[in-house]
Each structure stands twice: as structure tokens, then as C-alpha cells.
Amino acid sequence: MLKYSVIDETLKALAEPTRRAIVERLSKGPASVSDVAAPFDMSLAAVVQHLQVLEESGLIKTEKIGRVRTCSIEPKGWGTLADWIADRRTVMERKFDRLGEILAEDDTPTNKRKRKGKQK
């Protein structure tokens, strides 16, 4: 319930099997809403809702021409996601370099005594 961010919407969008399946379909090429929906055992309206979440997150984009809406991957959204993960891994690996195998065995006592009683 903290603040919103791009990475938040991106990860929320992908944290759903149906939406990941949609994304995997689109990563092979653009498709209409109906085409995207076809393989799924759910209503077209439900798939449309998933597509909206994906579009708002910036992972895909859509464009309506005539009565057909064509959906495709939006590379930019994937960049920010990959960057965030890469950042985390960089910090971790720097830590590994610095501390050797401490994380691997991690019995080091981080006994920072907190004497503040503030628990909430």
C-alpha cells in the first residue's frame, strides 16, 4: 500500500498466469483481441480486461483499426523491468564479492540491538 511506481504495475501485470501467457503469445508477433483470446477457456471480456492491465503497465500496446484492435509488445516496458532486476542483482553480486561466502553460509550475527521500543 505504499506509493505507486512503474515497476509496481509491471510486476503486478506479470504476476498472473493468463497475462504471462498473453505476453508469450504476443512476443511471437502482434495479434487481434480475438486471436489472443482464442486459446483461453474464459470469456472474451475477461481477456480484454487482462489486455487493459498489460497496456496500462506499459508491457504491450494496442491500436484499433476499423473494428479490430491489434495488440503488440511494447519493448520499453520490458526494459524498465529488466533494469530493475539487473540493479538488484548488481547490488547482490557486489555484496558477494565483498563478503565472499557470507551470504552462502550466513551465520554471521547481525546483532544490532535495537533499544527503541517502537514496534509499529
Partner DNA sequence: CGAATACTAAAGTGTATGCTTAAGTATTCG
Partner DNA sequence: CGAATACTTAAGCATACACTTTAGTATTCG
Tell me: does residue 111 bind a second copy (CB under 8 A). Answer: yes
Binding mask 71-110 for DNA (x = CB under 7 A): ----------------------------------------
* Residue matched to cell numbers 510486476: 11
Tell me: does residue 67 bind a second copy (CB under 8 A). Answer: no
CB 72 to a second copy: min, Å: 5
For the chain, the DSSP string reads: -----HHHHHHHHHSSHHHHHHHHHHTT--EEHHHHHTTSSS-HHHHHHHHHHHHHHTSEEEEEETTEEEEEE-HHHHHHHHHHHHHHHHHHHHHHHHHTTHHHH---------------
User: Pick from a second copy, DNA, none: which does 29 bind, CB < 5 to 8 A by kind?
Assistant: a second copy
Tell me: does residue 29 bind DNA (CB under 7 A). Answer: no
Listed residue (28, 50, 27) closest to 37, CA to CA: 50
Tell me: does residue 12 bind DNA (CB under 7 A). Answer: yes
Instruction: Kindly identify the residues of this chain, within the stretch 68-107, that bind a second copy according to CB under 8 A.
Output: 68, 70, 72-73, 75, 78, 81-82, 85-86, 88-89, 91-92, 95-96, 99, 102-104, 106-107
User: Pick from DNA, a second copy, none: which does 97 bind, CB < 5 to 8 A by kind?
Assistant: none
Contact segment (CB under 7 A) with DNA among 48-56, 73-81, 84-92, 95-103 equals: 48-56
CA–CA gap between residue 13 and residue 32 (Å, rounded): 19
